[in-house]
Amino acid sequence: MRKTVSVFICALTLSIAGTTAVTAPALAQDKAQAPNTRPYSFANLSEKLLPAVVNISSTQKAPEVNLQEVPEGLPHFPEGSPFENFFEDFLQRRGGEGFQAQPQSSLGSGFIIDAERGYIITNNHVINDADEVRVTFHDDQTVDAEIIGRDEKTDIAVLKVETDKKLSEVKLGNSDQIRVGDWILAIGNPFGLGGTVTAGIVSARARDINSGPYDDYLQTDASINRGNSGGPMFNLDGEVIGINTAIFSPSGGSIGIGFAIPSTLAKPIIAQLIEYGRTRRGWLGVRIQHVTEEIADSLGLPDTSGALVASVTKGGPSEASGLKAGDIILELNDTKVKEMRELPRLVAETKIGSKAKVTYWRDGKKATTTVNIGELEKAEETGLIEENAPTNQKPAQNGVDMEDFGFTLTELNDGIRTQYGIDSNVNGLVVTKIKPSSEAAQKGLFEGDVIVEVNQTMMKSTKDFSKVVKVAKEKNRTAILLLINREGSSRFLALKIDDKD
C-alpha cells in the first residue's frame, strides 16, 4: 500500500475529554559558527537552556447550545420549565447533536526572549482562536498569558506573562551564519510530555513548503514531533536560530524531516508585534510570477532570475514609478532577486516610506527606477491589493485559428464583451476556443481569456499576433510571452514556438 506523506504543523490538539486530534509546527534552525565536530555531550548546554523553554496550552470554548435548536429526537421544553436548566446543562456538556461541542485544547512550546518584561515566542497556530492561553515553566508553575500580537503569514506569535518568578531568557542568533551540516539542539513539548531535548544537524536551508508567502525554512533531522510547535532551535552557542514549525511525515511522527522559521526572518516580525501588536510590512504594489525558461527566452534574458511583473496595482507605490506588466525585477536596493519568492521577503523588510531602487529588465536591457515603499497591511485594509480572479470559461465563438498553438482568437467587439463579461477598458484578442491537449490549455489558458500583449506588443488584431510570432522566429526565439487578462486580473504565460515553417 502506498503511503501518503504530509506536512504536519507540530502542535498537539486535544479535546477536553482527552482524545487526540493533530497539528502543530516544529522547528529546524541554524547556528552561528558551530563547531565542525560533535561535542562529547549536550548536557551542560541543555541544562542551561531548558529553563527558558515553556509549554503552552490554549483552550477554545465550546459553542453555546441554543435550546430553540435542539437536535431532532431529543425532548423540547417550554420556556420556564423546571427541566429547562437541567437539559441546558446536559446539552452544554454533551454538545448537542453528535456530542461534538467539547472545548478544544492545543499543546505547543515556546521560549522566553525577555525575562524582565515576560515576552514569550511561539507559533501562531498554537494559540490561534484561543479563548485562554496558559504557560507552564520548567519548574511546573503555570500562569495565564496575554497574546500581544500574532502573524499568520509567518506563523509567529508573541505572548506576555506577569509573574513574580525569576525567569530565564535566551537570545535570538543569526541564522544567516548557520551552515548545512552544523549541529543544532531542538527543545520542546512533544505530545505534551514536557521539556524534551533532541539533537541533529541542519539538513538544508531556504526550504519552501508552500505554507505561506515568506517560506524560507531551515530543515533538520533532529527529532521533532507534535507539540514541538513554537519551540526553539539552538546553535551550539545557545542562541535561537529557528522556531520549530512543521514536519514531513507519513504518520504524523518524526522521520527526521523537520522545518524551522529562521531567526533572521523572525526577528523583525517579533519586534513589530511587540511594538505595534501587528506587523508593518513594506509593499511594492505589483503582482509577480516566476520567470520560467520559456519566459526568459522570450524576453532575451540570460537566465531565470528575477520576478516577472504580472500587473501593477492601480493607486499602488509602483504605479508612479513607471514599472509595468512584463518588466522583470532583477534587484531591490542593489540586492539581487535570485528567484521570484525572494522579492516579497525583501520588500516586506524594506522600511515603509523609504525610496527603494528597483533594477528591472525591459526591451532587452536593464533599467532602474525608484519606488516609494508603501505599507502592505494598509493596502489590505483598504482593498487596494488585487485578488486572484476566478476561471472564466465561456462557449466558443468563431475566430482565427492559431493552429500552431492550439487555440482560436477573436477580435473584441460589443457582442464578445457582453458574452464573456469583458470590461470596456480591457483590449486585446479573446480566446474563443482551445484544444484540450494543447500546451496552452495545459499551462492554464482558458476560453474567455483576453490576450492583451504578446512579447510586450499590444494586440489589436489577429494579424498582430501572427507578426509577433514571425519576428520571434526570425530572432531564433523558442517561446513567446502572452500577457493574459482574466476577469480584471493579469498574468503571464509563455508558449513554445512550433519550429516548423
Catalytic residue (one of 57, 105, 106, 125): 125
Label each residue of 348-383 as H, E or C: HCCCCCCEEEEEEEECCEEEEEEEECEEHHHHHHHC
Catalytic residue (one of 175, 203, 223, 229): 229
Sorted by sequence, the CB contacts under 8 Å of residue 410 that are 6+ apart come out as 397, 398, 399, 400, 416, 429, 430, 432
Question: Which grid coordinates are listed for 456?
Answer: 510586450
**Is-catalytic flag, 125?**
yes
Contact 58, 106 (CB under 8 A): yes
User: Rounded CA gap, 276 and 159, in Å?
Assistant: 13
Residue 431 three-state SS: strand
Contact 353, 331 (CB under 8 A): no
Locus of grid cell 561535542: 39
H helices within 219-371, ranges in order? 263-276, 293-299, 342-348
Sign of the Cα pseudo-torsion (462, 463, 468, 469, in order):
positive
Locus of grid cell 533594477: 359
C-alpha closest to that of 42 among 246, 273, 148, 198: 198
Sign of the Cα pseudo-torsion (167, 173, 175, 177, in order):
negative
Catalytic residue (one of 30, 151, 155, 464): 155
**Is-catalytic flag, 155?**
yes
**Is-catalytic flag, 290?**
no
CA distances from 383 to 25, 151, 310, 377, 389 (A): 31, 19, 18, 10, 14
User: Rounded CA gap, 227 and 489, in Å?
Assistant: 41
Q: Which residues are catalytic?
A: 125, 155, 229
